[in-house]
Amino acid sequence: MKHRQFRQLESHYNDTNATMLSKLMVEKDAMSKFFKNEIIRMQDLSKLQLTKISKDYEKATKLLEDESETLEEVERELLKQRRVSKYAPEAREIQREKEKVVGASIELMKAYEEVIKLADQQTLKREKLLKNVIELEKKIDAKHALELEIERMKGALQVMKHMRKDEDLKAKKMIDKIGRQLKEKEDDLEAIVEAMGEFKLASPSQGGRK
């Protein structure tokens, strides 16, 4: 009878461990997929933004260059025809417009450099996120290993409780030892779960949605 009970308990905990292992693998795959997709999404978004910004910059630069060339052409024609001197009101107005174009070009360059700087910051965020993903996967692996170990120890504890004879001292000591180890493992598991929760709150992935 005892032998059959032992086999039944062993079969039960083997099935439980198999189910748990399958569940844990699904959890890990889902978490890994989420963060990897987030990294890809951030990369795609950055590429689209940079492409648009580059095109806008090129377009604005071309407009300023065209305007500058037009002003130069007008100024040359005026001087060529000797209709005005370079100090005449018309010439001074052209000079002011040219200065505006130069100023606009400088501001445009500053804005573009700022955008490039922001793009570099986004790259650093992606690198940090990737590093965090690797760390999270390590925590998940540790969590899974602990959960499986806890289930194994629970199974061993139940088996020993069923198999021990009349408060056998040696069996009781072993049960107490397993119980203490089980409590330590559960505390370790709780610490890992808490650390994973803190990681999710600190993850830069939310910032990538801006």
Buried b (16+ CB within 10 A) or exposed e, 52-86: ebeeebeeeeeebeebbeebeebbeebeeeeeeee
pLDDT confidence bin for 166, thresholds 50/70/90: very low
State phi, psi for 164 to the nearest 5 degrees.
-70, 155
With 80 as the cut, is the pLDDT of residue 82 above it? no
Spell out the alpha helix ranges (H) of the chain.
2-80, 89-163, 169-202
- Give the per-residue pLDDT at 100: 85
pLDDT confidence bin for 83, thresholds 50/70/90: low
Domain locations in the chain as residue ranges: 31-209
The mean of the pLDDT values for the chain is 73
Cβ-Cβ contacts under 8 Å for 159 (sequence gap 6 or more) = 6, 9, 10
